[in-house]
Structure 1
Amino acid sequence: MAFEYNFHSLSELAALLGANEATEALIKPLSKNHNDKNQVYSGSDFRPLYPMFDMTFSLRGPSVSGKKGGATTGQSIPEAVFTDFSWLDLAGHRIAARGVRMIIYPQYPETRLSAFQTVENTMPEAMSVAYTKTFPDSVRYLVLARRGNGAVLAVMVVDPGPQFVSDVQALPPASGSRVWKHLRLRVTADSRLQTKLARVAGKPMPGCRLDSAGNTLPFNGTQVCGYTLEHALGINPNSDSHGDFEGIELKTHTQKKVTLFTPEPDMGVYAESFPEFMQSFGYQDKEGNWRVTGIHRVDERCEQSGLTLRIANHERGTSLASSADKNVHLALLTDEGILTAGWSLERILNCWTAKHNEAVYVPAVKVTATDLALIAEGYRFSVEFSSEIMWCRETSAERLFEALYNGTLFLDPAPKFCPGKPQLNKRRSQWRVNDIRAAARDIYTDVRIINLQP
């Protein structure tokens, strides 16, 4: 068998995963009916697979139920396809798999994993129906390790030693799960990142960035704080998929109000005709441009726009997996109930991705540069980072929606429509929080305030 590993202890697995740049892993013992035909049960909701791993949700297709006599025969089944999934073979090669997915069955609710074949039409033999029929008592473990910003490295473990079994049993459960165990591999990254941040905290530096070749360039755009921090830490912007620092997202902010993400509507008048939306529901500024602004919280009418944000087709406090086939969406409505703009659940989930699952928020101060020599070289700003940071881990779809329900997370749009000047049009759907320190505890399971100075 080309993919099946036989470990004596968990430390052997950890060493293998660490050598492949994995930062954490989920481990699940498989029952005899877990195979490529019957699928692998993952839990009653999206956790812990989402958002630990990067996925693309398709909640209105394309999988189709073929269960004979079932109420869902021929209907689309919600699913989420892993963006990057590879099996690790015994030779240490990562073999990409095509279309491995999490199937969502809202009627139960439950989620299951399916479609394990690689691009070479291979897969672990121990995942086949033939194997489970021939060896029904074989002890098997499925390991899904996270690389970078959410890529999956899968390892199949078969008939391991008793120490391995004992070690896995002793692991803590994954957040929100009764079937997956959680193995944290990145044991030194936190302290190493804190050391790097401590070295640059409290030290004014010119606003700059690194280019792809590692050269320092002045940078004067709105993202100057983020680029300057990456430069200070030696991180090339967008150099790979491994996150800002070994899968940890770095988020700088100059004020308490922070934009978490900016998904554009995929429903309603806005999605059908941006000009019609702006001219029908916006106002004109002194230059004749159309704008839509104002704070929009769930179930509160915004006086500035006259629109109300609502969560449609979902019962607060229930699993989103159980509502995945009910056309759950965020709706921006007129008093008459016209859907001016809407965000489908899949649009929200596909924008609230794996990179948000662990983030470090770094306060920054940006001021206009005063050093004449630096100004002459093209530097317009000076940036200084705080010595007190906020470290956040483990978010979920449910936590995000609860933040919407309680008003912590709100829509603060800033689109602009300039008739006759399409190059000046701006689409900006900003989902924000007023105070990231307070809001983080609603959005993340684990929030820590860390002072970098002794």
Structure 2
Amino acid sequence: MIETLSGLVALMKSYGATRFYAKKLAPNDNSKNQVYLGGDFSVLNIIPHQGIYTDNTVSSGSVRNRAKADVSFSWVNQNGLHNAPNAQLILYPKYPEVRMSGFLKGAKYAPSDIMAVRDEGRVLFIGVTPDGQILGYAAGPDSSLAKEVYAKNDLKQIGVFLEIPPESGIKDTRKLLLDKLAEICSKHWIMSKKLDSGGFSKPYKARNGGGYTLEAELGITPNGYSDPDYLGWEIKQYAVSDFIAYRPKGVVTLMTPEPTSGLYKNSGVEQFLHRYGYPDKHGKADRVNFGGIYSCEKDFHADTGLKLALQGYDPSSEKITDMTGGIVLLSRENEIAAKWDFIHLMEHWTRKHAQAAYIPSIFRTPPPEYAYGPRILLCEQTDFSLFLKAVANCTVYYDPAVKMEKASSGNPATKRRSQFRVRYNELVHMYYRHEYVELPIE
């Protein structure tokens, strides 16, 4: 039996855990009723999972679309790790809430005497490894470990969890990020550049090089992965007029997910552009574009005939009513031209935006150069429902940059960029916690 919090942290660290949490269990937190993990989806920022999917179950003669996510969960004790193969998260969007189930079934040495009862004073401990493994340990109400947690009043509350400091030996990614950003800001003017897929720096002349240049300084190569950019932090830059007033000159791109269904996905971007695109307005021959601003308040776009809508979401209650729904582009004939399914958007958003840093930049030319300002906005503890609320009230909008060149040839070249954007002054409403940090620069 583990008797102290430091002893448990040390044990979990020996199996690779770097983040540690405790949850004081209520009577309903047991193997029968599942373990309650929060009244929103923000726990998905803490608990790594293996992808969200819809499980169609039949109950009382009706079909329910329940969203689930498998997790790699093991109970830990002095004898080693003991896999819980049936552990999973269950998402209930209509409440909303998230629960964990299956944590005892098929798990050798699982703490059934603690997790199958309704006793007050029990504590569930969670350790998380960088590769997404979850380590669990349960302490009964009479244990010194549970009493130590209840006696502490200095642990930070994150949703239903108390965050346990990792003590020594684990690097603070926040400090490492800020130190690196201070180094970049101290360089002042940096030649516009972009890393190629091999990690080699090349000059970049287009006017959208602020993000690429910052990523190059951080060693981030362009990729299509939905993981955070740097040390678990999503990195976003935005243009400002100067580093005194910090007035934003544009908007911030939150994420660029490709549609997951609809004509765009099912028939391909070429067919989508042939049907809904329009000839280039600057006279570039044989080029088809798809652009414009699409938000829930706007009518059908004059150039494309499409409008943005939310399906399966009730803006009055701010809840998902159908997990098979999503953000859609609809034609006047009510055809779904493109759709971003909720389950894919939720996974993308919670994985990318659990921690995000927003860095201001200014531009000058010739030659094209960028400088980055020391006033950094750090945002944490987001929730997918905040994103959907922002889409519903038109704070977040769709601003695509999709094109096809050599459109009439047998081998057209397409470029895809599906951007969901927001005004900078609305960013903080997308997170439960934010902080402005002034970097010390030379």
Q: Could you say which TM-score interval applies, normalised by the shorter chain?
A: 0.7 to 0.9
Deviation at 1:146, TM superposition (A): 4.1
Residue 27 (str. 1) matches residue 22 (str. 2)? yes
Amino acid at match of 1:342: K
Distance in 2 between residues matched to 1:300 and 1:352, nearest whole Å = 24
Deviation at 1:319, TM superposition (A): 5.1
Amino acid at match of 1:195: D
The counterpart of 1:425, out of the listed 410, 414, 439, is 414
Q: Contact 2:90 / 2:98 at 8 angstroms: preserved in 1?
A: yes
Partner of 2:246: none
Q: TM-score, normalised by structure 2?
A: 0.77
Higher relative contact order (CA 8 A, sep 6+): 1
The counterpart of 2:354, out of the listed 330, 336, 357, is 357
Q: Please give the residue correspondences for 1:160-239 in structure 2 after superposition, counting only pairs within 5 Å.
A: 160-161=143-144, 163-167=147-151, 171-175=155-159, 179-183=160-164, 185=166, 188-203=172-187, 204-206=189-191, 207=193, 217-220=200-203, 229=214, 232=217
Q: TM-score, normalised by structure 1?
A: 0.75
Amino acid at match of 1:79: K
Residue 39 (str. 1) matches residue 23 (str. 2)? no
The counterpart of 2:402, out of the listed 415, 432, 437, is 415
Deviation at 1:411, TM superposition (A): 0.5
Partner of 1:308: 307
Distance in 2 between residues matched to 1:109 and 1:385, nearest whole Å = 40
Q: Secondary structure at the match of 1:310?
A: strand
Q: Secondary structure at the match of 2:421?
A: strand
Q: Secondary structure at the match of 2:272?
A: helix
The counterpart of 2:126, out of the listed 133, 137, 144, is 144
Q: Secondary structure at the match of 1:260?
A: strand
When residues 171 and 291 of structure 1 are mapped into structure 2, their CA distance, relative to the original with a 3 A threshold, is same
Partner of 1:252: 237
Q: Contact 2:355 / 2:379 at 8 angstroms: preserved in 1?
A: yes
Distance in 1 between residues matched to 2:328 and 2:217, nearest whole Å = 41
Select the structure that is richer in strand.
Answer: 2
Residue 6 (str. 1) matches residue 5 (str. 2)? no
Partner of 1:267: 261
Partner of 1:375: none
Deviation at 1:300, TM superposition (A): 0.9
Deviation at 1:236, TM superposition (A): 8.5
Q: Secondary structure at the match of 1:384?
A: strand
Distance in 2 between residues matched to 1:168 and 1:71, nearest whole Å = 48
Partner of 1:154: 135
Deviations, residues 101-137 of structure 1 (Å, cap 9, x unaligned): 211345665432123379xx635521x3x7656x765
Partner of 1:288: 286
Deviations, residues 30-58 of structure 1 (Å, cap 9, x unaligned): 356645554323234323x1233344554
Deviation at 1:410, TM superposition (A): 0.7
When residues 231 and 75 of structure 1 are mapped into structure 2, their CA distance, relative to the original with a 3 A threshold, is closer
Deviation at 1:29, TM superposition (A): 2.9
Distance in 1 between residues matched to 2:83 and 2:232, nearest whole Å = 20
Q: Please give the residue correspondences for 1:370-385 in structure 2 after superposition, counting only pairs within 5 Å.
A: 382-385=369-372
Distance in 2 between residues matched to 1:450 and 1:132, nearest whole Å = 42
Distance in 2 between residues matched to 1:293 and 1:231, nearest whole Å = 28
Distance in 1 between residues matched to 2:434 and 2:226, nearest whole Å = 24
When residues 234 and 265 of structure 1 are mapped into structure 2, their CA distance, relative to the original with a 3 A threshold, is closer
Distance in 2 between residues matched to 1:395 and 1:364, nearest whole Å = 24
When residues 234 and 268 of structure 1 are mapped into structure 2, their CA distance, relative to the original with a 3 A threshold, is closer
Give aligned pairs, total: 414
Residue 400 (str. 1) matches residue 387 (str. 2)? yes
Amino-acid identity (%)? 26
Q: Contact 1:78 / 1:324 at 8 angstroms: preserved in 2?
A: no
Amino acid at match of 1:103: I
Deviation at 1:190, TM superposition (A): 2.9
Distance in 2 between residues matched to 1:334 and 1:231, nearest whole Å = 40
When residues 246 and 331 of structure 1 are mapped into structure 2, their CA distance, relative to the original with a 3 A threshold, is closer
Which runs of no fewer than 5 residues in structure 1 stay unpaired?
Answer: 371-380
Partner of 1:337: 334
Distance in 1 between residues matched to 2:10 and 2:186, nearest whole Å = 37
Distance in 2 between residues matched to 1:278 and 1:209, nearest whole Å = 29
Partner of 1:125: 110
Q: Secondary structure at the match of 1:353?
A: helix
Distance in 1 between residues matched to 2:67 and 2:15, nearest whole Å = 32
Q: Secondary structure at the match of 1:392?
A: strand
Q: Secondary structure at the match of 2:149?
A: helix
Distance in 1 between residues matched to 2:110 and 2:88, nearest whole Å = 19
Amino acid at match of 2:285: E
Distance in 1 between residues matched to 2:194 and 2:338, nearest whole Å = 37
Deviation at 1:452, TM superposition (A): 1.0
When residues 361 and 17 of structure 1 are mapped into structure 2, their CA distance, relative to the original with a 3 A threshold, is farther
Deviation at 1:340, TM superposition (A): 2.1
Deviation at 1:282, TM superposition (A): 1.9
Q: Contact 1:80 / 1:102 at 8 angstroms: preserved in 2?
A: yes
Q: Secondary structure at the match of 2:236?
A: strand
Distance in 2 between residues matched to 1:315 and 1:425, nearest whole Å = 35
When residues 329 and 233 of structure 1 are mapped into structure 2, their CA distance, relative to the original with a 3 A threshold, is closer
Partner of 1:50: 44
Partner of 1:318: 317
When residues 404 and 211 of structure 1 are mapped into structure 2, their CA distance, relative to the original with a 3 A threshold, is closer
Amino acid at match of 1:218: S
